[in-house]
A and B are shown apart, each in its own frame.
Chain A
Amino acid sequence: MRVALQVTCVNDAMFPDTGKAVVRLLRHLGVDVDFPSAQTCCGQPMVNTGYLDEAVPVVRTFVRAFAGYDAVVTPSGSCAGSARHQHSIVAERSGDPALVAAVAETGPRTYELSEFLVDVLGVTDVGAYFPHRVTYHPTCHSLRMLGVGDRPQRLLEQVRGIELVDLPMAEECCGFGGTFALKNADTSIAMGADKARHVRDTGAEVLVAGDNSCLMHIGGMLSRQRAGVRVVHLAEILASTEES
């Protein structure tokens, strides 16, 4: 099976450790993962702000970079959701039948990390070790666009040493929302403040999620509040071992 990592633009530029963790994790599970260097971004920032024409060349770059792979794995529910559910909108807009065909072919091969581990590889115990009190925030796009369900929790439950605690009102949006966080900063912060409060109420040391963009928002607030809670991407917990 030829597997490509779609690291995402946010992780590439801001959170390279998450990408490295996915590489380590997949190799550990016997998957020879490749990083097609022609990749850039899924195009979601443009699409979700209404700039569909601008997204066309970005989506074109995406499908070219990942052509020929059996599976595209991404540590982001939001970017997987974009590839699976929004690329078709952009392709239709381009009026290019070849792009329409290409996104229809690439979308279904794109998996969010927990989907790939549980559904494609069939594993829930990845041999990880993470001796901390952790609470999990299910990000909106992983939950409602992709329907990852409890796959991330099933993976986390098998991590040795972990103490998983439930997050109150877990399924409520954290308020990030891409450019929403800037265009409606006040509302975004009001939502984030409630999410941060729920995180603090759990007494967890670590907040985990499958999307670093949401974690950057919640973590940025927790840091400003000196809450003493660290945010960590799911991939990094799953790639942690006793040696590391």
Chain B
Amino acid sequence: MTALATTVNVMHHAFRAGLADYRAIFTWKSWLAGWMVRVIAQVAFFALLGERIGDDQKTFYLLVGNSILVAALTGVFSLNMTTAERWAGTLPLLVASPSSPIIVFSARGSYLAVDGALSALAALFIAGPMFGMDLPWPRVVAVVPLTALVALASYCFGTFLAGIVFRFRSINSLVVLTTHVSLMAACGVNVPLSYYPDALEWFSRVLPVTNGLLAIRGVLDGADPATILGDAALEAVVAVGWMTLALASFNQLASRGRRDGSLDYGA
């Protein structure tokens, strides 16, 4: 088997293992009655604040931002994987195997990007009409790949963070939750980027969500295609950037754990 075929084989099995994990958490019924209800409630929670403010445009702004944020929140969950492996007792085995841990982790959690994109789109297409928002056809179709891009970029970001958590596993939950609220606060989800100080605005541009969300807002507002494509390209660059950082750091962090014996369950 060639190196490429071996890698693809490992990724295939890792993806199937990830799906099996997910099926252990959710059935179709609990996904719809639990997860989707929560997602739509989350979007409605923010959209209703817009209603209370008394501004339809603000309502739609909050609705779109918080719908797309769902893709990011789910994607970032990938950083839970290292801790899950540790609890299952499989982390040392994984690091000891000839495959690179990053290959396994990046494939194993990729279902999260799919789930994130689907959840975000469902939120937008269900909550939007509920609040009387116009989803301009056929332009709105472009929102689908853009949402997938946001989910992918967030997943890459989450995979990078998983490498950090690999070394500092005690802060796993803290990193997940602070990442969620930081993305919610800093990526133009609830207020325009211009509301932030300049430094924060620049910082938010290297985070997943920000550029993709601008592209999606552009699609819905009928912006110039060049502007939309520019923002989408920036989101893609951010995704590639975080995945490159993940590739560069993950194996080194794992090797350090192997050296100092901190990979096992009790560490």
Q: Do A and B bind each other?
A: no
